[in-house]
C-alpha cells in the first residue's frame, strides 16, 4: 500500500476514489445473514450490484465475472463465531486469488467480527467470496438491524489500465486515453506501479521495470 500525489494505491490499483463497481449481499429489512456452514470453505451470498456504471462486472449464482483486469476488496460479517476467515476464489481455474484476515467473535458475551481482504482479478474469470467458520450458530453470518435493507457482504472493484512507454518514459497522451478492454495493443506495455505521467513526468525506467505492472488512472 502506498500514497502517491495524495491518492492511495494497493498494488497497482487506486483505492482512494470511488470503486468502478460495488456488489453486496443484500436482504430485506429484518432478515438475518443466515446460518453458516461450519469448517468448510463455502461461497458467500452475493446478489446485488450497487454500482457499475460502465458494466464491468456481472453477477450470477453468487459469483462475479469482470470484463477487465482489476483489483477487488471485500468484507463480510460474522456473529458469535470464534474463528471466521474469508478468501477470494477463482472458480474458473479452481485457485485461491487471495486470503482475507481472520475475524474473532465470542458467544459469551455475544460479539461479531469482520473478515476483510484484497486481491487482483482477471478478466473473464468467475470469482466468489468464500468464508470459513469454526462453528455454525444461528445468524452466524450477521444479525439484522431491521431499519432498512440489510447488508452482510460488500465487494469493491477497481479496473486497471495500460499506457505506452516511449524511450523509457510514461507517455502522458496514451495514458489519458480510455481503458483498453483486455490486454494492451501492439507497441503498448504495462506501466510500473511506482510511475505515472502525473507524478513523475520525466522519470526514465528500464524495460525490465515496465513489465507485468498495471496502474490506475489519476
The ranges of the chain annotated as CATH 2.60.120.40 are 2-159
State residue 187's pLDDT score: 53
Asked if residue 112 lies in contact with residue 78, where contact means CB atoms within 8 angstroms, the answer is: yes
State residue 161's pLDDT score: 61
Could you report the per-residue pLDDT of 121-177, keeping only the tens digit for each?
Answer: 999 999 999 999 999 999 999 999 999 999 999 999 998 765 556 666 555 555 545
CA angle 178, 182, 187 (to 5 degrees): 75
Question: Which secondary-structure segment (H or E) carries 43?
Answer: strand 42-43
- For 2-159, give the CATH class: mainly beta
pTM summary value: 0.72
Q: Please report the DSSP string for 121-160 in residue order.
A: E-TT--EEEEEEES---TTTT-----SS-EEEEEEEEEE-
Amino acid at each position: 500500500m502506498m500514497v502517491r500525489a495524495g491518492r492511495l494505491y494497493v498494488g497497482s490499483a487506486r483505492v482512494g476514489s470511488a470503486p468502478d463497481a460495488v456488489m453486496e449481499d443484500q436482504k430485506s429489512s429484518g432478515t438475518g445473514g443466515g446460518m453458516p456452514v461450519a469448517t468448510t470453505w463455502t461461497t458467500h451470498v452475493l446478489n446485488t450490484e450497487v454500482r457499475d456504471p460502465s458494466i464491468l462486472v456481472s453477477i450470477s449464482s453468487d459469483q462475479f465475472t469482470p470484463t477487465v483486469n482489476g483489483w477487488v476488496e471485500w468484507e463480510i460479517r460474522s456473529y458469535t463465531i470464534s474463528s471466521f476467515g474469508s478468501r477470494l476464489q477463482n472458480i474458473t481455474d479452481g485457485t485461491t486469488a487471495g486470503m482475507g484476515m481472520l475475524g474473532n467473535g465470542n458467544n459469551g458475551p455475544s460479539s461479531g467480527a469482520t473478515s476483510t481482504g484484497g486481491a487482483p482479478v482477471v478478466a473473464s474469470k468467475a470469482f466468489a467470496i468464500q468464508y470459513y467458520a469454526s462453528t455454525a450458530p444461528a445468524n452466524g453470518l450477521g444479525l439484522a438491524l431491521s431499519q432498512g435493507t440489510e447488508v452482510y457482504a460488500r465487494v469493491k472493484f477497481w479496473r486497471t489500465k495500460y499506457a505506452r512507454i516511449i524511450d523509457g518514459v510514461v507517455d502522458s497522451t496514451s495514458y489519458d486515453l480510455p481503458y483498453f478492454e483486455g490486454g494492451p495493443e501492439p507497441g503498448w506495455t504495462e506501466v510500473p506501479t511506482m510511475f505515472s505521467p502525473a507524478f513523475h513526468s520525466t522519470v526514465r525506467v528500464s524495460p525490465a521495470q515496465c513489465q507485468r505492472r498495471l496502474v490506475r488512472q489519476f
